Structure 1
């Protein structure tokens, strides 16, 4: 009896996509009905929820209750979606979001297979049901984290002034939560709630840094931990950190302005091969079809695409600076 070989032709790609969509649907439905999470996902509008009647303990559970185990977290692409949704301030349950993505993939596969064929349906299903929703979450997360970084120096200055006039630390955190807009107002409110319910200062700021996953917030968490362990003037330390964060933000903007020409040049050079291909196809439609039967056409086309991709990533690396 010969060895069995798994068929891996392109005709099986739609079935693989459908299977992934079914797994995502199953995991989302399982989490919706059987997870031990609260029925709501993390909320970014903390003060609005307090007006709706939620207690501080319930609000705190929304920020800290997360299931760190399960099948979902072992999936490379989908495992980070719950954390990214939390960092983006989205109120939708991750399980409901993933279920919607899975249903979208399955529906597009069923309808598209009849209309345009299985391969085209698989491509559209992956883009519409997986790539686009994940991109939306990533963009929302990036905007919220960037907004948090812009608000952080002002929040630290406000805490510094409160500590200098003799207010306790928890009072200064509550003042920041009450006076500053989302996202920093909500996140500092969660820190105040954690401290009020028994967590120490270091753990509360460490949890905030992990929730936001922003570089300056990690600096704040480490600084608070060092000051808490060795003692010292917390107000002065926060003031110094606010100045440092503000200077780093100004340096980022300056570097971004200086490198604008390089980034535009990199974008133009990366798009130029595609523009040439499109222009040639429009002005001379028979140019590429006349040589596509040549044995060297496909290897050369693959080589060109790879070189264009390498050029894009190399130029992107050169034109982007991390401060």
Structure 2
């Protein structure tokens, strides 16, 4: 052992020690800064508002209720990602930033390219990001819903009323399902009927699972029956559908990867040829037929990619 240690360069030991020390320091700071409360008040955005002393009207105004007919509006999109409902401010700020960037790029790339670049960065890109966050939030809501239904069903079997079971979900489950069911509780306490409040929940989260929940509660409210049993069966159906989706995605993974590779190969080949032999394409750029043929080739590549992705992506 002594012989082995004598062969080790002390500089490397010092380097490894400094690296490990820096790594531990960064990890410790990350854990310290990312600490979250674990009490009930910090489980969801609504519970933090409750702890801050806001009343029902303030919570409903801040958290949810997009009005009927706003399903595709900017206000509904911003609300669905957790932003305050101020679409006018967003539009003004986005246009001012786009105008400033256009003025800076005007002398470099011309008026039309500058306008397109500025609008893409400050108008289109934020909208795409918000839509991506909204879709991810809806997927998480659908994943949390079976657990919420099981919790409601246990409360109903224990003898609690439906309002109390929904309130238990709102208080114990984290975001986003905790806040959405909390909005449901606030709407009921603010005067909405149960069926109407659940229908509004399905409108805020327009997925099949939430529409099934709204239909189940509406049918049970009108005809009676064992709601706990209905919710248990519904949660089992949702879990089965989620498992089927994952199986289909796993079975089609090879096809989706192949579609990506086949769609990227033409651009990769053009790039490599341009680097290895620049005259391969450079010699024909000036030909009158180059632009039409290049446009035709890009169109065929796009159609090929569209067909491939249609073949390996399934709606279920």
- Normalising to structure 2: TM-score of the pair? 0.81
SS of equivalent to 2:280: coil
Q: 2:293 aligns with which of 294, 300, 311?
A: 300
Q: 1:86 aligns with which of 79, 86, 89?
A: 79
Partner of 2:210: 217
Contact 1:174 1:192 in 2 (8 A): yes
Contact 1:104 1:128 in 2 (8 A): no
Partner of 1:191: 184
Partner of 1:169: 162
Flag the structure with higher helix content. Answer: 2
Partner of 2:315: 322
Matches of 2:157 and 2:308, distance apart in 1: 48
Matches of 1:312 and 1:224, distance apart in 2: 43
Q: What is the CA-CA distance between 1:176 and the residue it aligns to?
A: 0.3
Which blocks of at least 5 consecutive residues in structure 2 are unaligned?
1-43
Contact 1:60 1:190 in 2 (8 A): yes
Matches of 1:141 and 1:116, distance apart in 2: 34
Partner of 1:57: 57
Contact 1:81 1:94 in 2 (8 A): yes
Q: What is the CA-CA distance between 1:68 and the residue it aligns to?
A: 6.5
Contact 1:195 1:201 in 2 (8 A): yes
Given the superposition, is the C-alpha separation of residues 68 and 122 from structure 1 closer, same or farther in structure 2, using an over 3 Å criterion? Answer: farther
Contact 1:88 1:142 in 2 (8 A): no
Structure number, greater radius of gyration = 2
Contact 1:88 1:145 in 2 (8 A): no
Partner of 1:41: none
Matches of 2:109 and 2:190, distance apart in 1: 58
Contact 1:174 1:188 in 2 (8 A): yes
Q: What is the CA-CA distance between 1:205 and the residue it aligns to?
A: 0.9
Q: Does 1:286 align with 2:279?
A: yes
Q: 2:221 aligns with which of 200, 217, 228?
A: 228
Q: What is the CA-CA distance between 1:82 and the residue it aligns to?
A: 2.1
Partner of 2:151: 158
| Number of residues of Structure 1 aligned to a counterpart in Structure 2 | 273
Matches of 2:233 and 2:287, distance apart in 1: 67
Q: 2:112 aligns with which of 119, 126, 131?
A: 119
SS of equivalent to 2:281: coil
Q: What is the CA-CA distance between 1:90 and the residue it aligns to?
A: 2.6
